[in-house]
Structure 1
């Protein structure tokens, strides 16, 4: 199954958000992404914040940065302030993402084990630790049939998206597959079994069908969208390419491609020995002791140190 660069670009947040703004939680798009943030994300390794003026000195000897176990991030005070102001504009708590991906696979490094970010360092830490975000930066068109290597469109730029955070029940998250502009499949996203979902499923499916019908202005007839059910409303959370690079969740892509467009299939995690599989993206997590050893301390200390160093840099540049 192949896709095109145009389809992938249609699925980036800034392409669809203006059209469907009323269907999704509030968000702000920093486009292009602040330059020092992009530089930070493109550097190898996970490292602490620091000042551009810092020198790598030890006993009077200047060392090459590559010799240091802990490198310094160089996010400018101006860019940090832009992020901070945007967080405040959205109520003080946000969920970050780039053009396509949210760093859900990086919760292992978040002190709160949550995507909720209340400051710039929370955001940078999650983005930097995410394989999904790294894919956005390194190879977003890897499954496209057209030749796109090194040929991004002239008006393309990376974007930092900050979405208003609100508490959710993960049991009410769904991934929805649209084929020929018809909803054909809906999958529960949380990998755990919930007995109450069986009773709620018919109502949820109706809400998701209604939401899918409001997405007819999306330029492609095949696409995947993520939704969240809250009471009697379905919220649009994200739009993803109709591609093997998008997780089919409880469906295989061969199943999805064979499904009839008349009757959408809703699939829930079944009750039984395989009805609870823990957290999503557990394969992206690493042992805590391994991370702690590599960082020379524990995750909490690492995150706190990063926050303090970035705050110090921002304060210093104000004077």
Structure 2
């Protein structure tokens, strides 16, 4: 398998602020906040689910913060980001609602922590903080060691950025991941690994492949001057004739090749020809999602978060069972 070597400059070309200015007209309207509070990273990396003071809405106010002292008798540190709260609220007022990400990663693995059906929809600063603190994906962006893992060198400086993207309900069935190797579009994969009838119609497949190739030739290839190897996520319109960019990612093992392997993609590059399209062709497909929730490894009940703060496993177990019994008696 031949993959490009990773450098800090290569990885940084995929952070949101690097590519958004060139592709702002072909992607979701977004706001980048770079001057974050000095202790913002400390807050995101701290234990417990604590909402910064002044950022709450009615939903997040339900979170039970731990008011008890720690083992040394010292109170937990409280956080407050009034200036950042104001910037976020201004952006929400402009967009109606937002979904957040950091330099590279969105907290989609933590979407379960917001009200059911909201799908990352944030209407207050506290929604954003709650998502980011609960996400393993977002945590990746906090440390240079994680971001530049396997790189030949690390940059001298790396600054966290908060990205607020205009929220709207995305039909994930129309999302694709596209693979470009040595400036050749070689593969297109269905991104949501569920079975959909329309993906398996031969004429529709041809239409999708042609639409994506045309978009890449006219809108991506002339503007993407960072490297010859990259991937981009693409959302097709309802008529499957057009679309817009969701994100760019490195052409590297850290980026999920979905229905391909990187060995297969290398073979496709060497063979040349039109880009290959991979889809879930039956409900029995080995890669097809089951009924289990996506990112289920990162899910625990919302109430468990609030009850677990400041308690060891035995204390938490006792309190959790007491609450369950109380709930059953109330019913």
**Common topology (TM > 0.5):** yes
Are 2:297 and 1:292 equivalent residues in the alignment?
no
Q: After TM superposition, where is structure 1 displaced by more than 6 Å over at least 4 residues in a row?
A: 65-68
Matched, 1:47 2:56: no
Kindly indicate whether residue 258 of structure 2 is the aligned counterpart of residue 252 of structure 1: no
Determine the structure 2 residue equivalent to 1:208.
Answer: 212
| 1:226-266 deviation per Cα after TM superposition (whole angstroms, max 9, x unaligned) | 01001332100100011101111111122122213421011
1:137 aligns with 2:142: yes
User: Contact 2:51 / 2:126 at 8 angstroms: preserved in 1?
Assistant: no
Alignment of 1:118-267 (within 5 A): 118-138=123-143, 139-144=146-151, 146-148=152-154, 152-154=155-157, 156-199=158-201, 200-213=204-217, 214-216=219-221, 217-218=223-224, 219-230=226-237, 231=239, 232-260=241-269, 261-267=272-278
Which residues of structure 2 form unaligned runs of 5+?
Answer: 55-65, 309-331
Q: CA separation in 1, counterparts of 2:7 and 2:73?
A: 42
Q: 1:282 aligns with which of 287, 292, 295?
A: 295
1:175 is displaced (CA, Å) by 0.7
Deviation at 1:64, TM superposition (A): 4.3
What is the aligned counterpart of 1:26 among 3, 25, 29? 29
| 2:122 maps to 1:117 | yes
Partners of 1:82 and 1:4 in 2: CA distance? 33
Counterparts of 2:72 and 2:163, CA distance in 1: 31
Unaligned ranges ≥5, structure 1: 298-319
TM-score for the superposition, normalised by structure 1? 0.80
Aligned twin of 1:75: 80
Which shows bigger deviation, 275-284 or 191-200? 275-284
Residues 187-221 of structure 1: CA distance to partner in whole angstroms, max 9, x if unpaired? 11111100112233222222211222222232110
SS of 2:106's partner is coil
User: Counterpart of 1:49 in 2: which secondary structure?
Assistant: coil
Q: Distance in 2 between matches of 1:120 and 1:266?
A: 40
Contact 1:47–1:72 under 8 Å retained in 2: no
* Distance (Å, rounded) in 2 between the aligned partners of 1:11 and 1:76: 27
TM-score normalised by structure 2 residue count: 0.77
Within 2, Cα distance between the matches of 1:50 and 1:66? Answer: 23
Take 2:205 and 2:93, find their aligned partners in 1: how far apart are those partners? 36
Task: Write the deviation string for residues 47-98 of structure 1: whole angstroms up to 9, x where unpaired.
Answer: 23337xxxx977xxxx448768x95651322211111111212x21111000
**Residue-pair matches, total:** 280
User: Alpha carbons of 1:57 and 1:224: their partners in 2 closer, same or farther (altered >3 Å)?
Assistant: closer
- The answer to whether the Cα contact below 8 Å between 1:106 and 1:284 also exists between their aligned partners in 2 is no
Deviation at residue 132 of structure 1 after TM alignment: 0.9
Assess, with a 3 A threshold, how the Cα gap between structure 1 residues 67 and 163 changes in structure 2: closer, same or farther. farther
